[in-house]
Amino acid sequence: MNLSWPPGVPFSYNNPLTVPSENVTDHQLGDESRSISSVKHGVSQEFDKSTNSQSILSIYERQIAADEIRLLCLAAADDPKRPIVGCLETYSRDSCPEYEVTSYTWGREGGSDSKNSPIYLGPYWDVWLQTRNCLAVLHYFRPRREFRMAWVDAICINQDDTSERISQVTSMGLTYKTCARVVVYLGSDIVHRPSTHYRARGELHTLDIQILHSHSQQ
């Protein structure tokens, strides 16, 4: 049926059907059994080649160098219930678009950092599982028009590639230094969510007055 497993989703072969043994020749198999056998052998070969048995395929096309940065381009959505959709783009650090950095806690208050929340990346909406906190950040960060360029460490760094992870963590100071803004997400209980689409705007010259007033209340 020309089916494939989406990149980013952990895969294991646990077929309840009886798969013919390896010493059975192809001409002895029916079309369906031959297909099952081919999938089984193909998966085994991929597992042998992969350094990470949890995932055969990956959304990362290649390892990026220390002088490169991988950014998440988040697609806009009017409805907050819509899934998170975006794509990953790699740039030279000397020639990359303006981007923002998100800062948040990977695990929840209970300490759970399980990756069971899906986001969808690339032209074919490949499924990539992230923590619930990461999903909450992306829902908050996602624009309502156009797109938004972001650097999210859990996504923009291939966490399964030790060499890339070390290289990118070493360059993290530069990642923060050259970003347009850092957005710190403190959790849904603390972050203010306006009842309308957009937050209320204020005049710049009233900012000092508001600060003085808040200090006088303390």
What pLDDT is stored for residue 17 in this prediction?
A: 44
Higher pLDDT, 90 or 144: 90
Q: What is the per-residue pLDDT across 63-76, written as a single tens digit (0 to 9) for each?
A: 999 999 999 999 99
What pLDDT is stored for residue 32 in this prediction?
A: 38
Rounded to 5°, the CA angle 89-91-92 comes to 170
For residue 124, what are the CA distances in angstroms to 6, 85, 150? 9, 10, 20
What pLDDT is stored for residue 107 in this prediction?
A: 63
Higher pLDDT, 94 or 215: 94
Q: What is the per-residue pLDDT across 119-156, written as a single tens digit (0 to 9) for each?
A: 999 888 888 899 888 998 999 889 988 999 999 999 99
Spell out a b/e string for 157-179, using b for 16 or more CB atoms within 10 Å of the CB, else e: bbeebeebeebbeebeeebeeeb
Instruction: Note whether 119 and 138 are within 8 A (CB).
Output: yes
Instruction: Note whether 134 and 16 are within 8 A (CB).
Output: no
Mean pLDDT of the chain, nearest integer: 74
**Taking the complete model, does pTM exceed 0.85, yes or no?**
no
Residue 11 CB contacts under 8 Å (≥ 6 apart), including other chains = 5, 43, 55, 56, 57
Neighbours of 215 (CB within 10 A): 8
Mean pLDDT is highest, among 35-39, 102-106, 112-116, for 102-106
Segment 80-99 shows an average pLDDT of 94
Segment 10-26 shows an average pLDDT of 50
